[in-house]
Chain A
Amino acid sequence: MTVVFDGIASGLLLFLISVGLSVTLGLMNFVNLAHGSFAMLGGYVCVVLLNRHGVPFLAALPIVTAASALAGVVLERTLYRRLYGASHLDQVLFSIGLVFMSISIAHFFFGAQQQPLQLPPMLSGQFNLPGVDVGVYRLFLIVVGVTIAVALQWMIAGTRFGAELRASVDNPRTARGLGIDVERVFVLTFALGSGLAGLGGALGVEMLGLDPEFPVKYIVYFLIVVAVGGSGNIKGSLYASLIIGICDVAGKYYIPQVGAFVIYAVMVVTLIFRPQGLFGRSAAK
């Protein structure tokens, strides 16, 4: 049970970080391998705020989100949008370039070591329920993750922006024809995606660690979420994240000698048998 609980927590964390990648891929058909760099940025901003400026953890989170979102907007406006029409190969090369640069920059400012993060006392420790050891911080992650997933779902299903987003994902050309400003939708989505990635990065320092190699180390996980969940599919990303979180934690707990192998295999097998993702819409129109 503890494994399932921890798995859900890490799955939700994964969801926060990767949902933005999934949506940008679905919306603009853009392969952004540098998505993890935004999560890393969030992590470092959080660490700096806490350790150097004494900002409380909970107060730091909104700042972190805003900072990553801002970085997302700036990069989207200056660089990313030049490559919307480019081939996937170009996008991959370009974003790998950004990843390499971000790794070096992080290295320059913070060195190669793992960054420590002191959680506030109210979020540390654990308590025991029958059958489950509940880590307070993991419980907090689950609460935040579920809240955000519900909020996103509400936004997608219930607001005008959500409707525009869905229309744009379904068919950008038609959406443009209907008078939707797809560019604006994309900037906002990109900002939202980077912001959530940053938030996820900050929340994840405790569980995933934080060092300059972060964007490379976890990029596969984010891609797996997209591969399994289906690109542009928020609910799919959520389910995929949960499955992967639980599989990963269970795998590492019960069969540590196999390591991450299981997760990679899940991705490859999924891609082969259901290229549109487990939860993607079926290819038939």
Chain B
Amino acid sequence: MTTHSIDGFDPGPLRNLARWKRAEYAFWLLPVAAYFALGEQLSLLSQIAITALFALSLDLVLGYAGIVSLGHAAFFGIGAYAAGLMAANGWNDPLAGLLGAALIAAAAGFITSFLVLRGSDLTRLMVTLGVALMLFELANKLTRITGGVDGLQGIEMKPLLGMFSFDLYGKTAYIYSVVVLFVLFWIARRIVHSPFGLSLRGIRLNVQRMPALGAPVNARLVGAYTLGAAYAGIAGALLTQTTQFVSIDVLSFSRSAELLLILVLGGTGSLYGALIGTIVFMTAHHLLSGINPQYWQFWLGMLLVLVVLFARDGVMGGLRALGKRLPGAVK
């Protein structure tokens, strides 16, 4: 079969789909450049990297698997508290913390996926929202464990790999966050280009066709949801470890809503959309709240309305349209 070739047919475009493109290499030089150019803003930059990872996790769930979630912060929060509680109880190794948070969040994602996947879009919205709110209430009431509204304090981390301690300037925190983001991005990129990723696209594009191809749709979605939850958990854990604090905010509704905005702003289903959306959003947040912190939310709302009405494909959609005109650009 492999030697059999068809006249005038080149399978190249599909074979090479997963190859890294030049624009992608260029993109990943950004965090390196930012480290040198914006040395005083490292804590903001770490926040961006962490939020980007969180947005990436939602992109896996929403952009690829097509599962609408209004409560993705649930897994971010679980990861954040898991890492915080581990550290507060003497498990201070950062990487072990990430792993623990990922496993716990993945378990939560796996279990709740069965609730979420039962219904239509609307039911999914409400179930994900309901689950997240229940967790928020839980964290709010279990003051002895979570610190309630005061947050979880007294988190101390061991040096990373036993060598790099978390310094006051946030250098270690930034490099740590970016490296974790990059590694997880690289893994996610492999996954979305694999047959599993292709089947997720298939489910999103035409869910009724998939069983007719012999694909167990629910099993695939459970896998994607669990993966997304694990990613979100790692993002939460990173936030805890780099800020050494867990606020109950990690579970809040507005965190889930903001995340949706970030992803839609960047463009769903392209991985890079999640990253670019985060950069645009966080930068805008930083600048606008510098001018007028109280009314940031107004501009945020306005942006949401405008994006939905006029720019549904987000930044990536715009770039793609641009790329069609400029050969060799981002695809």
Contact = CB atoms under 8 A, between A and B. Distances in A.
The answer on direct contact between A and B (beta carbons under 8 Å) is: yes
Given A87-B121, A259-B141, A260-B137, A268 B131 contact: yes
Interface residues of B, number: 42
Interface in A73-99: 79, 82-83, 86-90, 92-94, 96-99
Given A88-B121, A100-B300, A271 B295 contact: no
A275 interface: yes
Interface string B272-307: 000000000000000000000011011011111101
A79 B141 CA distance: 39
Given A90-B312, A92-B70, A97-B304, A268 B134 contact: yes
B295 A108 contact: yes
Interface string A39-65: 000000000000000000000000000
A100 B301 contact: yes
B127 A268 contact: yes
B121 A268 contact: no
Contacts of A220: 129-130, 133
A82 B309 CA distance: 8
Interface in A99-125: 99-105, 107-108
Contact of B126 (A79, A101, A108, A267): A267
B307 A93 contact: yes
B62 to A, nearest CB: 8
Interface residues of A, number: 42
A219 B68 CA distance: 18
B259 to A, nearest CB: 11
Interface in B31-78: 62, 68, 70
Contact of B134 (A83, A223, A265, A271): A265
Interface string A221-260: 0010001000100000000000000000000000001111
A275 B68 contact: no
Nearest to B143: A257
Nearest to B142: A257
B205 interface: no
A284 interface: no
A275 B116 CA distance: 11
B125 interface: yes
A93 B261 contact: yes
Nearest to B120: A275
Interface in B222-270: 253-254, 257, 260-261, 264
B122 interface: yes
A259 B301 CA distance: 30
B120 to A, nearest CB: 7
Given A88-B122, A261-B134, A271-B119, 12 more contacts: A31-B122, A98-B301, A101-B298, A103-B301, A104-B295, A257-B141, A259-B137, A267-B130, A268-B130, A271-B123, A272-B119, A275-B118
Nearest 3 A/B pairs, CB to CB: A97-B304, A100-B301, A104-B298
Interface of B: 62, 68, 70, 115, 118-123, 125-127, 129-131, 133-134, 137-138, 140-141, 253-254, 257, 260-261, 264, 294-295, 297-298, 300-305, 307-309, 312
26 contacts: A79-B305, A82-B309, A88-B122, A88-B125, A89-B68, A92-B260, A93-B260, A94-B304, A96-B301, A96-B304, A97-B300, A97-B304, A97-B305, A97-B308, A98-B305, A100-B304, A101-B298, A102-B301, A105-B298, A107-B295, A220-B130, A227-B126, A231-B122, A261-B141, A265-B134, A275-B120
